[in-house]
Amino acid sequence: MMSFLNQYGGQLVTKTWEQLYISAIALLLGVLVAVPIGILLTRFPKTAKIIVGIASMLQTVPSLALLALMIPIFGIGKVPAIVALFIYSLLPILRNTYIGMNDVDPTLKDSAKGMGMTTLQSIWQVELPMAMQVIMAGIRLSAVYVIAWATLASYIGAGGLGDFIFNGLNLYQPDLIIGGTIPVTILALVVDFLLGKLEYRLTPISQR
């Protein structure tokens, strides 16, 4: 292990940063798109089935095939990788947001209306906090998926820890494979842990 760090330590830091950078942008875009849409769909149940169905269909496309489909549109590099990972991140966040918002106690919604709250105030001050635990579970799941799938981004020149793994497979060097796999696993666990802490802070005390 020490010999690997001595030889590839600099590259390890760079590629870990690339992996985190690609994953973070894709996940952030997923949250910014999927959460508002999930909230909006609770007001249109019939449309919700269609949208969730489309998101489910997109996630069935093999990740390598989706990455390949991005190349004619965006070329190679980080941009097509981020777009592909963004698409993959949508379903868990969208589905959990929709479920979480729908599962909010109707009595609380009625109470918000009775207090004179507008629809937006009810969503922001009552429904969203009560659904936060479920929404964050979807975000955490997407984060783990995105970090794991980002390893495949090296196939289209996006960099990341996948470079170590695939170089190791091509050159039959187990140390490169392990040197790429272990940081990906640690990165996924650390991000999930940190998002778990964020979930705890955002969840109302009554639901903890």
pLDDT in tens, the chain (208 residues): 667 677 777 888 889 999 999 999 999 999 999 999 999 998 888 888 888 888 888 778 887 788 888 888 888 888 999 999 999 899 899 999 999 999 888 888 888 888 888 888 888 888 898 999 999 999 999 999 999 989 988 888 888 888 989 888 888 888 888 888 999 999 999 999 999 999 988 887 766 6
Q: Which domain range does residue 12 map to?
A: 2-207
147 with 30: CB under 8 angstroms? no
CATH number at 156 reads 1.10.3720.10
Total domains in the fold of the chain: 1
pLDDT of residue 176: 87
pLDDT of residue 191: 95
What is the length of the chain?
Answer: 208
pLDDT of residue 132: 93
Alpha carbon distance 100, 108 (integer Å): 14
Amino acid found at 76: I
> Residue 76 burial by CB count (10 A; 0-12/13-18/19+): exposed, middle or buried?
middle
pLDDT of residue 38: 93
Please give the model's pTM, rounded to 2 decimal places.
Answer: 0.89
CB proximity list for 95: less than 8 A, separation 6 or greater: 38, 52, 55, 138
